[in-house]
Structure 1
């Protein structure tokens, strides 16, 4: 097994950091590597804001739901859907730009942001750092827009922490649903999907017992609790204020 595969198969979210600094040369390398991420039509419709100021990071932690793993990280990277750049490019040629004005464009921005997240985290972890994806900033997107001076057609969709991880006390990474209920051949199999959920209840319970984490909810409970109501309810209104439209109609 090569080192990249080994790293990805053993990846975990890090929620406790030592407080040590991320080296400047390492951070620069992470960011330069991240900029090579795959993106739709070479539009490069994501941008980053790199935050090291401790008071700002503390504020981000508070606004994201009081997340300790954010507050104790050395670096926080805000990942943006950015159609400001593309809109300027199109307008400079006298053209319309439907990136922020279409359902497809919004999905493209979200997908590109997810790819960017993975690229940042993979690069950081290859250098020995820990990371955690943070979606909680969508709790208060309008405040982040003001805090970071985000122009029209730019939206703060998620972020990631980077820091030196505390020693890992878990005996193994969190398990996943059975492979046959995740990767289907040729077409989706709803029965395999449902059976995989039931099997995973047992797999996850065994993992919790192995790691003295029986207080955690089951997979079914966790998913049910997470989505029994709309988690973040300011996204649509804030995106509209930023000039985004989720539509299939050209206006």
Structure 2
């Protein structure tokens, strides 16, 4: 399993081959088995196999063609709808969505579930790529998937049989990620070191060489606010008091 985790690739091209129902069920069961805050299981997954819906989602995700190409597209949602239903069942007030901590809980639970799903899919010989683009046009994604109040799309996952072989993408030096006892802010040298490895990775594939730091800096300069979540979170019931007003 460790080898599977450390051997991850992000695939954008898939064979025209269905993902067997039993394999998809195994992936979902693995995602369900992930730990969650207070065992609230604040995650729901929408499996989209319809070609028409995948095409619509590919456009909503920023015209990412691999969303339509993958035989299955999973949309991972933070879900407090069931928590609200449980509160009503027990004749209790449901106040969690007024607290910004609900966003942290929901996003964290989705992330853990997504990680389990990726590991399960890859262990079954499938290829995947997470898609944050579902947050570009969340209002339309919510409408398309008919998500009720207190349910919000956080990330998607393309799943299918890879149609290509890919080299492993280098990662930042461990020293940039692992901090002993306290946070070490001295990362500039480590970023420069990683820039060299990143350029070599691109060069080996015949791609345009560029620094990782320039890529990240450009993304966060032109995307200061990604998507419409600031509006749709409130529409879905996550008021977070004054924070999102």
Shorter-chain TM range is: over 0.9
My pick for the range that moved more, 92-101 or 145-154, is 92-101
Query: TM-score under structure 2 normalisation?
Result: 0.94
**Contact 1:16 1:72 (8 Å CA) reproduced:** yes
**Contact 2:131 2:158 (8 Å CA) reproduced:** yes
Deviations 1:48-91 (A, max 9, x none): 11111111111100111111211110001111111010011123
Aligned residue in 1 for 2:191: 197
Aligned residue in 2 for 1:188: 183
**Correspondence for 1:122 among 105, 119, 124:** 119
Residue 169 of structure 1, CA deviation: 4.0
**Contact 1:98 1:105 (8 Å CA) reproduced:** no
Task: Name stretches of at least 5 consecutive residues in structure 2 with no aligned partner.
Answer: none
Residue 14 of structure 1, CA deviation: 0.7
**Correspondence for 1:219 among 212, 218, 221:** 212
Question: What is the aligned-residue RMSD (CA, Å)?
Answer: 1.5
For 1:117 and 1:50, how far apart are their aligned partners in 2?
A: 13
- Within the alignment, does 1:92 sit opposite 2:89 as a pair? yes
Task: Name stretches of at least 5 consecutive residues in structure 1 with no aligned partner.
Answer: none
- Within the alignment, does 1:207 sit opposite 2:201 as a pair? yes
SS in 2 for 1:158: strand
**Contact 1:181 1:195 (8 Å CA) reproduced:** no
Aligned length: 242
SS in 1 for 2:121: helix
SS in 2 for 1:147: helix
- Within the alignment, does 1:230 sit opposite 2:224 as a pair? yes
Residue 231 of structure 1, CA deviation: 4.7
For 1:230 and 1:210, how far apart are their aligned partners in 2?
A: 32
**Contact 1:102 1:248 (8 Å CA) reproduced:** no
For 2:133 and 2:6, how far apart are their aligned partners in 1?
A: 25
Mark the CA change 1:148 to 1:36 in structure 2 (over 3 Å): closer, same or farther. Answer: same
- Within the alignment, does 1:40 sit opposite 2:37 as a pair? yes
Residue 181 of structure 1, CA deviation: 1.3
**Correspondence for 2:136 among 134, 139, 145:** 139
Residue 248 of structure 1, CA deviation: 8.2
Residue 141 of structure 1, CA deviation: 0.5
